[in-house]
Amino acid sequence: MNVSNNKVAVYRKEHFNAAHRIFNPAWDDEKNFEVFGKCSNPNYHGHNYEMVVRVIGEPDPETGYVMDMKVLSRITKEQILEKFDHKNLNLDTVYFRNLNPTAENIVKVIYGLLRENIDPKLELQVRLYETERNFVEYPV
C-alpha cells in the first residue's frame, strides 16, 4: 500500500455559552453604534458558540490514533471551556481586555491556547460557530 499520504484529520466538537460586546474603546458610542450596530449594546448580548477542533497527523503505528481524543477533550475543556463557558468574554477573560471579541479574534485566541498544548508535529485548525449561520476558521 502506498503510504505517501497517510494523514488523517480527527475532529472534536465542543460548545460554550458566553456574553460579549463588540466595541472599540478608542471610538465614542455613536461611532461604535455606526460600525458595530446592535452588537455594540453596552449591556452585552450573547451566543451559543460551537467549536470544531481539527487535528491532522499520521496515525501512530502502536495506538492507531492521530491523537487520543480523550486527551484532546481534556485539553479543550481545561484551556477553553473552563475559561469561556458562561462568561462575559470582555470582562471575565484576560484575552479580550484590549482585543475586540469578534469571532475572528476569538478563534485566534482559541487556536493559540490549544496550539501550546498539542504536539507540534500535528496540524491544528479551529472552526468557531458564533451562530448556526456565522462561522470562522483559523489558520487558513
Residue 43 is a binding residue for another protein (CB under 8 A): yes
List all residues 6 or more positions away from 59 whose beta carbon is below 8 Å from its beta carbon: 6, 8, 65, 66
Give the active site residue among 39, 47, 50, 123: 39
The nearer residue to another protein, 37 or 139, going by C-beta atoms, is 37
Assess contact for 51 and 110: CB atoms under 8 A.
Answer: yes
CA distances from 2 to 5, 59, 61, 62, 123 (A): 8, 15, 15, 19, 22
Q: Which residues pair with 15 in a beta bridge?
A: 50
Q: Residue 137 catalytic?
A: no
Q: Which stretch binds another protein (CB under 8 A): 6-14, 26-34, 41-49, 56-64?
A: 41-49
Identify whether 130 is a catalytic site residue: yes
- 131 is a site residue for another protein (CB under 8 A): yes
Residue that the C-alpha cell 480523550 belongs to: 70
Binding mask 59-78 vs another protein (x if CB under 8 A, - otherwise)? --------------------
Contacting residues toward another protein, per CB under 8 A: 15, 17-20, 37-39, 41, 43-48, 85-88, 91-92, 131-132
